[in-house]
Amino acid sequence: MAQWMHMTQLIQYLPGPTVNDLYPSNSFPIEVRHFLAEWIEKQRWEDFVLENVEQEGQATALLDQVIHMLQSMAQDNNNVVEKMKLLQISRNMNSFQQQPLQFGVMVRDMLRKERNLLRSHPTILSPPQYPQYRESSFTESTDLDKLVLKVLEIQEVRQKLHQMQEELNWERQNYESIGTIQQNGLEPTSAEIQKLQNHIQQMEYTMKSLATKRFQSLKECVDCLDQCQTQLISRLKVWRWEQHKATIGHPFEDNLNVLQTGCEQLLGVNGKLRQELMLIGEPIPELQERLGQLLQVLIQSSLVVDKQPPQVIKTQSKFSTTVRYLLGEKVAPGKPVLLKAQIITELQARSLGSVPSDNVGELINNTAILEHNTASKSTCATFRNMSIKKIKRADRKGSESVTEEKFALLFSTEISITGCDTPYRIQMISLPVVVIVHGSQDNNALATIIWDCAFSEPDRVPFVVPERVPWRLMCSTLNSKFTSEVQTQHNLDQYNQLFLAQKIFDKPDFTDDFSNMMVSWAQFNKEVLPGRPFTFWQWFEGVMDLTKKHLKTYWSDGLIFGFIGKQHLHLILKDRPNGTFLLRFSDSEIGGITIAYVSATENGGQKIQNIQPFTKRDLEIRSLGDRILDINHITFLYPEFPKHKAFQKYYTEPQHPPSGGYIPVSLQTKVGMDAGSAALPVSNMTSHAESPRNVVSYPLDAGSATHPGSNLDSPHSAVPYSMHPFQQPFSPQESINQEQMETTVSPAEFSQNSPVVFPDMGTSDNMELVLDTLLKDLGQ
């Protein structure tokens, strides 16, 4: 399955024709490759040769297994669309029963092409950010463990040297006392004297060798400590980098415990090595200086912004952030450590080293005490109610707006570590933030943050980003952001990506590879789209927000086609029967979804109808599933799924009749001419109807993609669509009670009386009352 895992990374960068050629939809679609990836890569496809008829039995067995597995997966799949698609694919696979060898050779060639593509795109498959450190995490841990053991060996050598020195001192004393013994008439033999001399010389030689070994071991340990610390600090950079990338949906493991353990071990090793150097008779300035530098770097690098502040901050609003110190347990007891936060500009972030003197903003509640949590073994300072009271803007260049200006929060303090003589000044900056003063600036500010997170380089100069990037990177960013924001596993497919490229480059007729075309910041969120009052990002963010709040499950179940251009829409619907429909995001309205469907023309031909888009407000009134249920013109979800099977679980269950004499009413979606007959012309009655919708249509001529000058979402050639109230009971206090209706009000009198207002429905929804059932009941 490893090959397919790499291919899933590569496919999003391949042009559409290449993918279609690799996984032909009529014989071996990409779904088969995905669902059976592990099984496919375990079989021996390389053995198949088209001319070797003896292999037909083996090929037939593999084909039967594929069909059986697809059918089993379909039966177990709760996703209606995927279930029907798998069944259709399994039926299509039966066409290979007459030529099973052709099936085997086709899979063989597909796997070969995949391998060739993977070899020709190595840079796409390897992450560009610090790949060596992620792969070496196990090695680093092993090196650190070995370093700890080596320090223990040095300590043992020191202890042994101490013992030998004591023994040597004793033997030397014995040798010096020989003269005294001779004076007392107890003269030792020359052999005994020689033996004592040899022993002393041997001990002196051994001690000298051990001292040399100890010095060499100390030097090796300092070198190893330097290497381990460099790796750990690189891992900290990786952690910060992944935290940065999490903004656009990249996976991020926020657990810092392993890194904290590494920092504590390094600090312990550094302290023990400094102690060993102090116990050596002669000082070694070179090693002492290196250990001092390593200690300073470690202490200053261990301050981490654990929970970043929001990257778009509105003045006068509260926000929180948490700073963690990875050497918290080693902080010297006594005076509490107070962290201070201040806001700095991009220029100030480039020249850190001291506390900036120029104050560019006023922060409220910008201090917090570093506190140790025994349960989590973490030491953190939490700023719970911080707020930017005011901000000082820099001079802007050209057309640069305030939402393009980036700031950061600088956290700083002075800290003392147990075992260290002097305190250390430490500081750390947050990810870049954009400061706004009004909610209307939020969307553009978020665009600045997205561009920064997606396209900045590791170890950059703060906060430099490229002005232009390849479309393949932009496309990957849009997909990551969309799936993470909506919280879905359903990615943007190749058709969605093609349409997005056509839209941002304003090339609706271009169908070749966009991968290496350069997208500018201006195209992303500075210049409005042609013929539209909004930018590409504003439109895309509106779709994300709509999908996140109202369409998440529909999208995850594969019921929404999503991003599609009018030419592609015409192409896939032109041969479909009347009533075939698909759901696509509005091209002309921010945060809208519309239904495109095939219907008959007056002369017996076909045309595509596009219902005016439903917005968040519309879907809050009545869900998309219920609206689809209401519209009788649409019967099959593209390509051929019965709508009641596809959307059954989204239909609202019928409500029980209300008690207490209330008259039930309901909302219902009407399209086209039905909308005109749905509401009675009661001229004196206050209107509470949703604003009429339009249906845009154009004929499905064989020679043209769309009607000349047509716009999918424009109101031309439109007929109304309306909504009817759903489950809004008449209140006896606010309108008419049941008894009064039955005894004093006739249908004619009711329609001629003063306007009737139903407060329960709220005028803000602008819904139109349908009185068919009501007048019928009143007349009984």
Query: What value, to the nearest 5°, has the Cα angle with vertex 354 and ends 353 and 355?
Result: 135
Residue 565 has what pLDDT?
Answer: 85
Which candidate, 205, 211, 200, 199, places its Cα nearest to that of 160? 211
What residue ranges in 612-720 does DSSP mark as E strands? 636-637, 641-642, 695-699
- Maximum Cα–Cα distance across the chain: 149
Q: Which pLDDT score is estimated for 775?
A: 40
Spacing of C-alpha 687 from chain mean position: 45
- 352: buried, middle or exposed (CB in 10 Å: 19+, 13-18, 0-12)? middle
**pLDDT value of residue 716:** 39
Helices (H), 651-761: 673-678, 738-744, 747-752
144 with 228: CB under 8 angstroms?
Answer: yes
DSSP state of 550: I
Q: What is the per-residue pLDDT for 81?
A: 74
Alpha carbon separation from 460 to 312, 405, 453 (Å, rounded):
21, 17, 12
Count of H helices and E strands in the chain? 29, 19
E strand or H helix that includes residue 192: helix 190-245
Give residue 257's pLDDT: 92
Residue 166 CA to residue 208 CA, distance in Å, equals: 14
Mean pLDDT by 10 residues, the chain (780 residues): 77 78 88 87 86 87 89 80 83 88 91 84 48 46 81 86 82 72 63 79 83 87 92 92 92 90 92 88 86 94 96 96 94 90 92 74 95 92 95 79 94 91 92 95 96 92 93 93 92 91 91 89 95 96 96 94 88 91 94 94 88 94 94 91 92 77 78 55 36 55 42 44 42 31 33 39 36 42
> CA 147 to CA 236: how far, in whole Å?
20
* Res 477: pLDDT: 94
**Which amino acid is residue 242, in one-letter code?**
E
Please tell me the distance from the alpha carbon of residue 240 to that of residue 303, in angstroms, as a whole number: 11
- pLDDT given for residue 228 in this prediction: 92
- Identify whether the C-beta of residue 634 lies closer than 8 Å to the C-beta of residue 581: yes
